Amino acid sequence: MKIKLTKDEKKVAEDLKRGKYQSLSKSDVKQYAKLATSEVERRKESRKEERINIRLTPDDLAGLRVRAEEEGLPYQTLVASVIHKYVDGQLVDVNNLSAIKRALKVD
C-alpha cells in the first residue's frame, strides 16, 4: 500500500533525496537538546500566571458569561484577554472614536 504524502511532506522527501539535510553529531544533538530544554523552561517562567480576586455585580458577571459564550471562550479567558489588551493599549473605547480619529488625523 502506497502512502499518500501532503505537499509539504513531498517537499521534505525530495529535499532528503537531494541530500539537503545532514545528520548532527552526537555532541551537536546534546547541545541542541540543552538549548531546547532551556528555551522551554524560559518560556514556562515567562508564562507564569498570578491569581487575582475581583468583585463584580451579578449583572456584570452574567453579561461577561454571555459575551464569553458568544466568543466561544471561558469567561475567565475573556476577562484575561480584555485586561491584556487594555494593558497593551489595544483596547479601544468605541464611544470615543471621534477623539481617536482626531488623534490619528483620520477622516
Query: For residues 6 and 11, what is the distance between their CA atoms, to the nearest angstrom?
Result: 9
Highest-confidence segment of 10-24, 32-46, 65-79: 65-79
Confidence band (pLDDT; 50, 70, 90) for 6?
A: very high
Tell me, what DSSP letter sits at residue 73? Answer: S
CB of 74 closer than 8 Å to CB of 68: yes
Residue 106 has pLDDT above 80, yes or no: no
- Establish how many alpha carbons lie within 13 A of residue 94's alpha carbon, considering only the half-sphere containing its beta carbon: 0
For cell 458577571, the residue is: 61
- For the chain, domain boundaries: 58-104
Predicted pLDDT at 107: 57
Cell of 33: 537538546
Q: What is the mean pLDDT of the chain?
A: 86
> Could you give the CA distance from residue 107 to residue 94 in angstroms, rounded to a whole number?
16
H or E segment to which residue 98 belongs: helix 97-104
